[in-house]
């Protein structure tokens, strides 16, 4: 079964003015779609064609001879996860168990914001900033290019894409402004809380 490009979980204009419909049309409709097409071409008529995407990512991670497959598989997964990390009317401060866990593991919500912004803005070149569950503890981390927490035994809870195509049309070189806009206005804490609950 060939992978299909998953639909955005909201209208393309839903994230404006923080992420424009124009950015989403390129980011989802071109970049994400290309990773899906590349993945399907690389797995066609191979045993991987029928395997779940997450399993393929874990199996080929670290295998230099499968770098192309890993990069496209992980980028498909990372992008789908990123779209779900965002929502219209998001941002602000989470509540309940998620907030308690952030405060217990990361010091405070403000400290989390500080650490997450630092991870996102100091990722050299292309990559991702993440909130993950690792050994039962929350951690802020970052990965380069297509790398993903799945390849490191971590459970992803939230991400922000810091490849230039994620923000350049709207923010040019102002990556910190993009990251702040996402955290303050678009972060889907309900999705994060669901991921944390499922990981228990």
pLDDT, residue 200, reads 80
pLDDT score of 2: 87
Whole-number Å distance between alpha carbons of 109 and 187: 13
165 among the known binding-site residues?
yes
Q: Give percent of the chain above pLDDT 90.
A: 98
- What residues of the chain score a pLDDT lower than 50? none
| 32 annotated to bind ligand | no
Is the CATH number of domain 96-199 1.10.1370.30? no
Measured CA to CA, the distance from residue 191 to residue 200 in angstroms comes to 15
CATH code linked to domain 21-84: 1.10.287.990
Give the CA angle between residues 102, 107, 111 to the nearest 5°: 85
pTM: 0.97
Is 31 one of the annotated binding-site residues?
no
Domain residue limits, the chain? 21-84, 96-199
Residue 96: enclosing H or E segment and its boundaries?
Answer: helix 96-106
Task: Find all residues with CB under 8 Å of 5, minimum gap 6, and list them.
Answer: 28, 32, 33, 36
pLDDT digits (tens, 9 = 90+) for 24-76: 999 999 999 999 999 999 999 999 999 999 999 999 999 999 999 999 999 99
How far apart CA 41 and CA 110 sit, in angstroms, is 44
For position 78, what pLDDT does the model report? 98
110 is in an annotated binding site: no
């Amino acid at each position: 079964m060939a992978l299909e490009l998953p639909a955005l979980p909201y209208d393309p204009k839903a994230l404006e003015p923080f992420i424009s419909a124009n950015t989403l049309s390129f980011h989802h409709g071109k970049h994400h779609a290309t990773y899906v097409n590349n993945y399907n071409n690389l797995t066609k008529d191979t045993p991987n064609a029928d395997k779940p995407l997450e399993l393929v990512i874990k199996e080929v991670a670290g295998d230099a001879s499968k770098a192309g497959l890993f990069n496209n598989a992980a980028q498909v997964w990372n992008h789908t996860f990123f779209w779900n990390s965002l929502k219209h009317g998001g941002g602000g401060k989470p509540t309940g168990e998620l907030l308690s866990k952030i405060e217990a593991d990361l010091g405070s919500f403000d400290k989390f914001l500080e650490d997450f912004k630092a991870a996102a803005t100091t990722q050299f070149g292309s990559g991702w900033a993440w909130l993950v569950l690792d050994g039962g503890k929350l951690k802020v981390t970052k990965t380069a290019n297509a790398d993903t927490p799945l390849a490191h035994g971590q459970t992803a809870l939230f991400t922000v894409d810091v490849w230039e195509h994620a923000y350049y049309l709207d923010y040019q070189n102002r990556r910190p402004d993009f990251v702040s806009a996402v955290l303050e206005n678009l972060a889907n804490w309900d999705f994060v809380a669901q991921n944390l609950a499922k990981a228990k």
